[in-house]
Amino acid sequence: MNLEHHYATLGDAFYTHVAIQPLHEQRLVEFNQALATSLSVDIKSPETKALLMGETVLPQGLSMVYAGHQFGGFSPQLGDGRGVLLGEVRGQDGLLYDLHMKGAGLTPYSRRGDGRAVLRSCIREYLASEAMSALSIPSSRALALFDSREAVYRERPEPGAMLLRTANGHIRFGHFEFFFYQGKQAQLDQLVEHCLDYYYPECRQAEQPLVAMLLAVVKRTAQMIAKWQAVGFQHGVMNTDNFSITGETIDYGPYGFMEDFDESWVCNHSDYEGRYAFARQPGVGLWNLNCLMRCFSNHLERDQLVSILQTYEAELQQHYDDLMLAKTGLEKTTDLHVLLPSLFSLLTKEKMDYSVFFRLLAHFRESEFDLLLDEVIDRQALSNWLQQYQAARLSNTLSWSQMSERMLQTNPKFVLRNYLAHSVIQAAEQGDYLPFRRLLNVLTSPFEEHQASDELAQRSPEWGKSLEVSCSS
Ligand code: AMP
Ligand code: MG
């Protein structure tokens, strides 16, 4: 494996060297061959396996230190409490990818935690990150899953596990906050140079590289959140230590994918105030970016920082509109702005499943109103909406069938529902990974029909809707 160690060159102020501490009877149970190939990582080679199993100690392995605003309050020191960064590898796309092992044991940043991860949370992260990636949402990705016979204690004893994941970067907004609030200007500058070198090299050509980079971070963050809103993804813990400088979705915990449409939905049962409710995500993105901008108040004038932040809203709105045009099969934003609010209030009243509705809309033919009307109680209200919608679609430049084709590539048949994750986790805890693999297979090509797996596209049963997910993982 051609491991590089760029983050490690930053020096002791940025991390502590840590080794992977293997679990009892640890086994490699799943790995992502396509991703491994694209990164030229041979997971099964004896050297790599020994490294990942903690049998060979990698001297450059490290846990990063950072800070972060957690649910609005500032924590001056956090860090990888259970993660080891092994180093970086160069992908076939030319970008650098971190190899990061989660659940690798205690680190100096473990606080009251045990340094471990449970199989349940590793499977949840594996599925979600691969599903997001298949939906074209920048995300960390799962490279390999290890299970074990070691018990890890949460509300109950659970099997311990480790997840090897990749991301273009794991530098968080909180990294900058860590140095800024301690007045460590030299390290802050060093981090800026590092990000410019490895994540935003194109910004070096700009007159003010830092400004160009911050504008790019705002843009990527706005686009990421627009994508979350369009697919109905809720992150659950949008703290600044869970926000990556590269605009990738990272740190999957108590996330959720929207089922019954409800913009006030809160997926994280530990989020008592609903701070990170679905409809609040765009606003929280701005709040987090504001935290990031504050770290550069010694570098740039206030007005300059404000004007960088002001690009966020328009970028998010524009990107969201484009995504929703593709989703609805409409061509004019003016039509979208009339039809979407009325559709959303209808879906809310009907408690309609978000993904099922849009998939049906993609299959909807001009004359087949019943296909959708049978889904609702208030047929008249939906019928009125469909008539307006039909008129807009008929004025498109693309034909109805061309547009429907496109919609089927935009509206997934398969989404990661909580009850599906729950079922495959239960099987995996009994040693049966087949249901996990079947689910992973449809989630990684979610627009295909996969007729033999139709049951994985079904709405959640009532018991599935009341499953609780929280920060404990
Ligand atoms: P999260 O909300 O998952 O992003 O976690 C917040 C912080 O707590 C991070 O710094 C994690 O590394 C740390 N943490 C979470 N779970 C554990 C654990 N089981 N052991 C040690 N640290 C943990
Ligand atoms: Mg985190």
Q: Which ligand is nearest to the CA of 79?
A: 1
Confidence of residue 339 (pLDDT cuts 50, 70, 90): very high
Residues near 441 by beta carbon (within 8 Å), at least 6 away in sequence: 450, 453
Q: Is 42 a catalytic residue?
A: no
Q: With contact defined as beta carbons under 8 Å apart, do 174 and 68 qualify? A: yes
Mean pLDDT of the chain: 96
Do residues 349 and 441 both lie within one domain? Answer: yes
Do residues 159 and 18 both lie within one domain? Answer: yes
SS3 state at 64: strand
**pLDDT computed for residue 470 by the predictor:** 77
In-domain check, residue 87? yes
Over residues 243-295, the pLDDT tens digits come to 999 999 999 999 999 999 999 999 999 999 999 999 999 999 999 999 999 99
Select from 102, 132, 167 the last residue of a domain. Answer: 167
Task: Give me 451's structure tokens.
Answer: 């007729």
In-domain check, residue 1? no
Task: Give me 141's structure tokens.
Answer: 């990705």
Residues near 405 by beta carbon (within 8 Å), at least 6 away in sequence: none
Select from 322, 344, 367 the last residue of a domain. Answer: 322
Report the alpha-carbon angle 142-148-152, nearest 5: 95
In-domain check, residue 258? yes
Do residues 463 and 362 both lie within one domain? Answer: yes
**Gap between the Cα atoms of 281 and 261, Å rounded:** 16
Do residues 38 and 23 both lie within one domain? Answer: yes
Phi, psi at 195, each rounded to 5°: -65, -40
Q: With contact defined as beta carbons under 8 Å apart, do 266 and 274 qualify? A: yes
In-domain check, residue 314? yes
Q: Which ligand is nearest to the CA of 125?
A: 1
Res 132 pLDDT > 90: yes
**Which mutation among 78, 118, 122, 473 tests ligand 1's pocket best, with the greatest number of atoms within 8 A of CB?**
78
Query: Is the CB of residue 82 below 6 angstroms from any atom belonging to ligand 1?
Result: yes
Whose structure tokens read 């991703």? 35
Query: DSSP label at 221?
Result: H
Do residues 94 and 185 both lie within one domain? Answer: no
Do residues 306 and 335 both lie within one domain? Answer: no
In-domain check, residue 2? no
Q: Which of 74, 262, 248, 83 is nearest to 176 (CA)?
A: 74
Over residues 196-225, the pLDDT tens digits come to 999 999 999 999 999 999 999 999 999 999
Domain count, the chain: 3
184 is in an annotated binding site: no
**Gap between the Cα atoms of 96 and 437, Å rounded:** 28
Identify residues whose C-beta is under 5 A from ligand 2, the ion. Answer: 242, 251
**pLDDT computed for residue 371 by the predictor:** 85
**Gap between the Cα atoms of 401 and 407, Å rounded:** 10
**Which mutation among 110, 155, 158 tests ligand 1's pocket best, with the greatest number of atoms within 8 A of CB?**
110
Do residues 243 and 147 both lie within one domain? Answer: no
Over residues 415-441, the pLDDT tens digits come to 999 999 999 999 999 999 999 999 999
Do residues 457 and 333 both lie within one domain? Answer: yes
Over residues 144-183, the pLDDT tens digits come to 999 999 999 999 999 999 999 999 999 999 999 999 999 9
> What is the Å distance from ligand 1's center to 81 Cα?
5
Helices (H) and strands (E) in the chain, counts: 17, 11
Q: Which amino acid is at 225?
A: I
**pLDDT computed for residue 83 by the predictor:** 97
Q: Is 303 exposed, middle or buried (0-12, 13-18, 19+ CB in 10 A)?
A: exposed
Confidence of residue 397 (pLDDT cuts 50, 70, 90): very high
Confidence of residue 473 (pLDDT cuts 50, 70, 90): confident
> What is the Å distance from ligand 1's center to 244 Cα?
16
Select from 167, 189, 223 the last residue of a domain. Answer: 167
Res 314 pLDDT > 90: yes
> What is the Å distance from ligand 1's center to 473 Cα?
9
Do residues 132 and 212 both lie within one domain? Answer: no
Domain residues for the domain of 190 are 173-322
**Which sign does the torsion angle of CA 152, 63, 138, 221 carry?**
positive
In-domain check, residue 95? yes
Do residues 155 and 268 both lie within one domain? Answer: no
Whose structure tokens read 């590793």? 122
Do residues 197 and 339 both lie within one domain? Answer: no
Q: Which amino acid is at 55?
A: E
**Gap between the Cα atoms of 38 and 114, Å rounded:** 33
Phi, psi at 136, each rounded to 5°: 65, 35
**Gap between the Cα atoms of 345 and 261, Å rounded:** 9
Q: With contact defined as beta carbons under 8 Å apart, do 21 and 115 qualify? A: yes
In-domain check, residue 53? yes
Do residues 300 and 354 both lie within one domain? Answer: no
Over residues 55-89, the pLDDT tens digits come to 999 999 999 999 999 999 999 999 999 999 999 99
Res 471 pLDDT > 80: no
From the CA of 117, give the closest atom in ligand 1. Answer: 19
**Gap between the Cα atoms of 116 and 32, Å rounded:** 22
In-domain check, residue 193? yes
Over residues 344-375, the pLDDT tens digits come to 999 999 999 999 999 999 999 877 888 899 99
Task: Give me 276's structure tokens.
Answer: 């990170």
> What is the Å distance from ligand 2's center to 242 Cα?
5
**pLDDT computed for residue 468 by the predictor:** 85
The pTM of the full predicted model, rounded to 2 decimals, is: 0.97
Specify the residue with its C-alpha closest to ligand 1, atom 18: 113
